[in-house]
Structure 1
Amino acid sequence: MAEERTLNRTAPTSDGIAEVAFGAGMTADIAEQPEVYARLADEQSGAIAAVAAEIARERPRFVVYTARGTSDHAALYAAYLTEIRLGIPASLASPSAITVFGARPDLSGALVVGVSQSGGSPDIAEVLRVGKESGARTLAVTNNAASPLASVADRHIDVSAGHERAVAATKTYTAELLALLMLIEGVRAGDGVLPEEERRAVAELPELARVVLEDDAAIRAAHRYRFADRVVTTGRGYAYPTAREAALKLMETSYLPALAFSGADLLHGPLAMTDPDVPVLAVVGNGPGGQAMRDVLGRLGERRADVVVIGPSDVMGSALRVASPAVDERYAPLLDILPLQRLALELALIRGENPDAPRGLRKVTQTM
């Protein structure tokens, strides 16, 4: 009965009068993601294609992404895509090098991409401004076309996620992923237009997302780990940003210490802390990155770690599998994160927290 009381807790709204159920906003945001995929692919495909065609003509020597928080994980995903699909070197900028230490790197010939849901953090805008001064072309990817970041950039892509109710980002994150995927595949095509194979894959995402969100394996995992003191998340390649985003969601909604490592880095020391009392959430895809995780999973097995696999295939020795569709690994991050968002939501509710309004956090965080 204590669990039922926790799940039905309510919190006052900003006017102090009406009450809403804990997690109602995050629940609604998560559920809207199939619709967001469909809307973004339909309404923004032309604008994204136009930007992609311009970038293809300019042929940047390298691409620098700059972001914070959840958007930093979307930028990391884009960096993998840029190097793997375009063969162009990509990196993630350290905004403090510019805003705190006054560095002025030579970014001539580069494309500098600022990724931010709100577009309101001044340090991200400053990186783009400094990039423009040194001869870079700049692009903003946001959920707010009227934001300072969109204003300072040469070009802007609107991810069209709509209003996000909860402080913890969910649908804006996955909308960023899809927008960046469409952009980079459009650049690869040369004229910005996605090839037929890519269009079909994008068109299938809304239905695949609905199927993933209907599965309750993440709910079972939340009940299994409600008393966990810490958790490790891991993945390789395209799955690594998913592991990092999952860790962030767990920390900001349940206040559960979560450490994210690439599968390779996990073996370089952190493996020693894993044991049967430390849950490991392993994102294991259907491709080279997933195959590279097999050795990692074997070593975790030697440590008798409690492993939950998020992916399309069963893995020997795992305690639980959260199923996801067998898609090309570059599309998997748009689907694998969905059950992990539900895990974070459910775990927060079970632990008596309000994931819509984590303590000490605001929707727009401004840093320099």
Structure 2
Amino acid sequence: MTDTPLPAPSDTLMHQEAAQTADIVADQYARNAATVKALADDLRRNPPPFVVTCARGSSDHAATYAKYLFETQLGVVTASASPSVGSVYEAKQRLAGALYVVISQSGKSPDLLRNATQAKQAGARVVALVNVEDSPLALLADTVLPLRAGPERSVAATKSYLGSLAAILQLAAHWKNEAPLHAATEALPDALRRAWQADWSPLTDGLVGAHNLFVLGRGLGLAAAQEAALKFKETCGLHAEAYSSAEVKHGPMALVGPGFPVLCFAQPDETEAGTLALAQEFRGRGAQVWVASRQGDLPLAEAPHPACAPLLTIQSFYRAINALALRRGHNPDVPPHLNKVTETV
């Protein structure tokens, strides 16, 4: 907690930057369209045997989204690289012909740069999703998809994270080259605007005195759960763990009893019914449960395509957690012990 006066919710950098997301995504899509189309056309002509993602922090949560999106929409196996394998262990990987997607806000973390360099040397095509367009990562990549989020001053990333998801969605839409995903990208900015207006005050009110919680999602929605759990820790000083709504059954759910807080993101696709059933089971145990869904107590803005839902979920969440951090006595812009740019080896 801070001893200095706290700003009003709408005055934090986190609030102001997250509120820019819809306009940022619209601009990103317009300015990146030619580059994404050229990349996607070549990927269809020369399909990679698999995709590898490399990222840390919020960017690695975006990589989780890429995994589920590429595998469900394109049928291309997508795996996450452990940066230390290349940067610390210096173990060479067989990556010939692979698409190697590196996601970073700053584009200058030494471990990501080392892995991207090794991937190029191994014969992979390196694509960088990066916010700083003249960064070392952008300079070494074969193709750069700028996030175009502009300067982000709040330590807690918001618009750059959603910009990463949006860039991944645009690439998948052009790569698949079918009408539903293309239409979804066109409708996404307006859907993000609606999501920003969603009332998630029950979550803010209910977690003011909490000490820990689970955040659950599944499939495309797992990335949203991971991002939410991180934001609870860094902005609110609240211990949160993210789980797949399937994996939580393998041990962690033993902790869920009377009063235990659980936040469920019900992705509007084939995983929705299972997540809603689990939420109902936890309510039956007396747990304190909030559900973000089309019919839940936390309204989910109508998604133009299920692949858009994780972006809308997090956009609504960012507004709610900004308010929660202040209610708990924390300034979300300056979390203790954290820096805006983290450089790992």
Calculate the TM-score normalised by the size of structure 1: 0.89
2:263 corresponds to: 281
1:358 corresponds to: 335
Match of 1:82 among 70, 93, 96: 70
Tell me, in whole angstroms, the C-alpha distance in 1 between the residues paired with 2:302 and 2:55.
Answer: 29
Deviations along 1:44-63, whole A, 9 cap, x unmatched? Answer: 21221122222222211010
2:81 corresponds to: 93
For residues 298 and 223 of structure 1, do their structure 2 counterparts lie closer, same or farther at Cα, with a shift above 3 Å needed?
Answer: closer
For residues 39 and 104 of structure 1, do their structure 2 counterparts lie closer, same or farther at Cα, with a shift above 3 Å needed?
Answer: same
CA shift for structure 1 position 7: 11
CA shift for structure 1 position 297: 2.2
Report if the CA contact (8 A) 2:188-2:304 is conserved: no
CA shift for structure 1 position 196: 4.1
State yes or no: 1:233 paired with 2:215: yes
Query: Identity of counterpart residues, as a percentage?
Result: 36
Other structure's SS at 1:261 match? strand
Tell me, in whole angstroms, the C-alpha distance in 2 between the residues paired with 1:7 and 1:211.
Answer: 33
1:253 corresponds to: 235
State yes or no: 1:174 paired with 2:151: no
Tell me, in whole angstroms, the C-alpha distance in 2 between the residues paired with 1:21 and 1:281.
Answer: 22
State yes or no: 1:306 paired with 2:294: no
Q: Give RMSD over aligned pairs.
A: 2.0
Report if the CA contact (8 A) 2:110-2:343 is conserved: yes
1:9 corresponds to: 6
CA shift for structure 1 position 343: 2.2
State yes or no: 1:212 paired with 2:189: no
Tell me, in whole angstroms, the C-alpha distance in 2 between the residues paired with 1:142 and 1:355.
Answer: 23
Q: 5+ residue gaps in structure 2?
A: none
Decide which moves more: 295-304 or 273-282: 295-304
Report if the CA contact (8 A) 1:60-1:110 is conserved: yes
1:130 corresponds to: 118
1:293 corresponds to: 275
1:43 corresponds to: 31
Deviations along 1:24-73, whole A, 9 cap, x unmatched? Answer: 21110111111112111222212211222222222110100000000001
CA shift for structure 1 position 150: 1.1
Q: Which amino acid aligns with 1:49?
A: K
Decide which moves more: 59-68 or 31-40: 31-40
Decide which moves more: 243-252 or 149-158: 149-158
State yes or no: 1:222 paired with 2:204: yes
Structure 1 segment 123-202 matched on structure 2, within 5 A: 123-189=111-177, 195-202=178-185
Tell me, in whole angstroms, the C-alpha distance in 2 between the residues paired with 1:23 and 1:122.
Answer: 34
Report if the CA contact (8 A) 1:73-1:244 is conserved: yes
2:44 corresponds to: 56
Calculate the TM-score normalised by the size of structure 2: 0.94
Q: Which amino acid aligns with 2:320?
A: L
Q: 5+ residue gaps in structure 1?
A: 11-19, 190-194, 315-319
CA shift for structure 1 position 175: 0.7
Report if the CA contact (8 A) 1:161-1:175 is conserved: yes
1:243 corresponds to: 225
Other structure's SS at 1:181 match? helix
State yes or no: 1:27 paired with 2:15: yes
Report if the CA contact (8 A) 1:219-1:342 is conserved: no
1:72 corresponds to: 60
Deviations along 1:282-337, whole A, 9 cap, x unmatched? Answer: 000221021232342243233222111112123xxxxx333332443211011011
Q: Which amino acid aligns with 1:324?
A: A
1:342 corresponds to: 319
